[in-house]
Structure 1
Amino acid sequence: MKKTILLLLALISFYTTYSQNSYVFFGSYTPDKNAEGIYVYQLDTIKGKLTKITSINNISNPSYLSLSNDGKFLYACTESRTPNAGSVSSFKFDPQNKSLTFLNSQKTNGENPAYLSIDHTGKWLVDANYTGSSISVFPIAEDGKIDPIVQYIPFTEGSINPERQKSSHVHSVFFSPDNNYIISPDLGADKIRIFPFDSYKKEPLDTSNSSFVKSIPGSGPRHFAFHPNKKWSYSIEEIAGAISAYSFEKGQLNLIDRIKIQSKKETKDFGSAEILISPDGKFLYVSNRGIENNISIYSIEKDGSLKNVSTQSSLGNHPRNFAIDPSGKFLIVANMNSQSIIVFKRNQQTGLLKKVSKLKLKNISCVKIKTM
């Protein structure tokens, strides 16, 4: 009887593991339209190996990606790092036919789109343009296509770093957990911008009631992450190499803690890139480029502050982006300059990382994981 129960439990575990498929989407800086620009792989959720499903070409510099809630549609920043250009593009993903199909593109009206997010209703796409510093807002049609831009919000002011902050550089955009606000770190102005958001309006961003939180001058806020408890949030400061922790309530950010990332030596431009929190809310991860090429790991304390756990090599050069799978079991990092993708298995008790597989891909700038 005992053996039968154990066998049933093993079968249930096996079925749970394989009843859903985990797909990994890679975006890249690929100016040659004849070359592959977006790749789709399947993640083996037992061994952590990646198997190629499909790819797509004829698209210029699809540098950052975002997926619809159901995983049926993929959206990309395109024509990034292309002078006097910038667009967002949509694709349909069909896991049954193992296909990724281009749908359409729209101009962003801003140069060098660097980040995009989809609101919780799936009806709106918001883009951050880094070089032509601005936020662009697009409706999403039912068929997944991007409708023409309805809001364009430019910024100009810079900050104290003469090399990096001569003008505003909006680096990313995030929806608050309640979908009522957009949070947008501005690396050039040392500000985290906050806009009320109403998904039912034709122009959903309320620019007349926007606000901001100032970061330390010269810090360069880049990306942002909300804690699963919806009360805390964290900003990675690219230039200074620091993390600021905030409480978040009704569109207000209040500083809880600020911690400097441990470094090999002092530098004027640290190169921190991505910041993510494990699904269980226990650990925070940051990737650092430049002389570091590592991932900093922190435990999140009961008051939302951070405690350093470890710093581990990214096992490559220039870890621009990484992703954690929804189960929290794997962390996948893209080392852009060494053309290496590393799959780490996470120890969910300690937060530490162990390499389980490696993949060679050129110029990868973005990693997204979707379980379907």
Structure 2
Amino acid sequence: MKPKPTTPLFALMLALLMPLFLQAQKKQGPRYYHLLIGTYTNGTSKGIYVYKFDTETGKVALEQVAEGVKDPSYLAVSANKKFVYAVNESHNPKGDSVSAFKFDDHTGKLTFINALPSYGTDPCYVSVDKNNKNLFVANYSSGNLTAYRLKADGGIADSLQTIQHTGGSVDATRQKTPHVHAVVLSPDEKYLISDDLGTDKVYEYTYQPNAKRPLKPAAQATVTVDPASGPRHLVFTKNAKHAYLAQEISAKIRVFNYASGKLVSIQNIEMETPDFKGVNGAADIHLSPDENFLYASNRGEANDLVVYKVDKATGKLSFVQRQSTFGNAPRNFAIDPTGNFLLAANQNTDDIYTFKINKTTGKLSRIGEKLAISHPVCLKFVAIR
């Protein structure tokens, strides 16, 4: 039996809908990404792991392992996807290091370039500017941050500048000294923001990429948060009108208005239920790709992900959901660039769980089996070329 010919009306509808379908596909982005996982190597981990991630199914398959690098805990990927940087957080009292790798975004292979001292102890965060000109490292235990010049081949040149924070705050156990926990560039890269858990301050520096000393205190040099808050990680909206700060000790999210290098606090919202009496430890924080929702992880005895709805007009948050991470110490998590899935890395139970994101409600639901990996610390997605 011959198929019926396409009717003129159907053909017209197809012609009208096809551009929309193609546009939606283009907006969705590639289906497959490399998933890079930074780890501590004091267990069975061998270094940095690279998996292939399917953004339609949430499934992963091992591609590569960069072995021989010690404790590559936190990672940063260059904007051109050609290089990866890792802090080597080995708790060395004489100081730790930061490493550079060449990255093949087709195969996922990492090739070691070089490493330099971090000029501090327990480096916990690394970031790189969009032009791959300068690199920044936060040293937690020594309470300082270091800026480096980068070479054309992606390697790390000698340091340009080390800035030492001073002081402390009210928590006698955790805030005797400064503890720099993040170094985040503003979207326009005119400023570098440094969260200090030990001093309950967010430091702001103007950034001049070509200067011999690229960082100088901004006009608003610091923003002080509530005592015993413990600033940890901060994320900006793409339009740079708002910023969100995860505060580790208090387990609260602080919301800021942001303009011209100035942060103005407008909200401080709880991560826990009012009746929660256990140990907390707020950790990572990310916006969904469409910025309709904010996600934050809480460790301690909570071990969950908290979801908030974002009011885009005001930047303020409203609670949506708390979701168990099915493990212990979700130090880091990542949302795939299509916004379909969230992966939570449980450092102390050696596993990563995948959650499906409902893009309408923002809610999370667990899918698939856990990915077993020793001491996962940091997750990064890079499109497969």
TM-score (norm. length: structure 1) = 0.93
> Quick one: which amino acid aligns to residue 57 of structure 1?
E
Structure 1 residue 202: deviation in Å? Answer: 2.2
> Quick one: which amino acid aligns to residue 92 of structure 2?
T
Q: Does 1:293 align with 2:303?
A: yes
Aligned to 1:368: 380
Larger radius of gyration: 2
Aligned to 2:324: 313
Paired residue for 1:234, among 240, 244, 263?
244
User: Secondary structure of the residue that 1:365 maps to in structure 2?
Assistant: strand
Q: 1:51 to 1:260 in 2, by over 3 A?
A: same
Structure 2 counterparts to residues 109-258 of structure 1, below 5 A: 109-207=119-217, 211-258=221-268
- Asked whether the equivalents of residues 132 and 154 of structure 2 are also in contact (C-alpha less than 8 Å), the reply is no
Distance 1:275 1:208 in 2: 24
Structure 1 residue 327: deviation in Å? Answer: 1.6
Structure 2 counterparts to residues 13-162 of structure 1, below 5 A: 21-31=32-42, 35-162=45-172
> Quick one: which amino acid aligns to residue 95 of structure 2?
A
User: Secondary structure of the residue that 1:101 maps to in structure 2?
Assistant: strand
User: Which sections of structure 1, spanning at least 5 residues, go unmatched?
Assistant: none
Distance 2:217 2:158 in 1: 19
Q: 1:10 to 1:178 in 2, by over 3 A?
A: closer
User: Which sections of structure 2, spanning at least 5 residues, go unmatched?
Assistant: 1-5
- Asked whether the equivalents of residues 196 and 210 of structure 1 are also in contact (C-alpha less than 8 Å), the reply is no
Aligned to 1:266: 277
Q: What's the Cα RMSD here?
A: 2.2
Distance 2:36 2:60 in 1: 11
1:296-317 CA-to-partner distances (Å, cap 9, x unmatched) read: 0000113111100111111211
Identity over aligned pairs, percent: 38
Higher strand share: 2
Distance 1:326 1:67 in 2: 14
1:194-228 CA-to-partner distances (Å, cap 9, x unmatched) read: 00101121221114856000010011010001012
Aligned to 2:3: none
Q: 1:206 to 1:53 in 2, by over 3 A?
A: same
Q: Does 1:323 align with 2:334?
A: yes
Distance 1:348 1:312 in 2: 16
Q: Report the count of equivalent residues.
A: 370
Distance 2:318 2:89 in 1: 39
Distance 2:378 2:108 in 1: 20
User: Secondary structure of the residue that 1:150 maps to in structure 2?
Assistant: strand
Q: 1:223 to 1:208 in 2, by over 3 A?
A: closer
> Quick one: which amino acid aligns to residue 367 of structure 2?
V
- Asked whether the equivalents of residues 56 and 340 of structure 2 are also in contact (C-alpha less than 8 Å), the reply is no
> Quick one: which amino acid aligns to residue 247 of structure 2?
E
- Asked whether the equivalents of residues 34 and 108 of structure 2 are also in contact (C-alpha less than 8 Å), the reply is no
Structure 1 residue 11: deviation in Å? Answer: 9.1
TM-score (norm. length: structure 2) = 0.90
Distance 2:14 2:120 in 1: 60
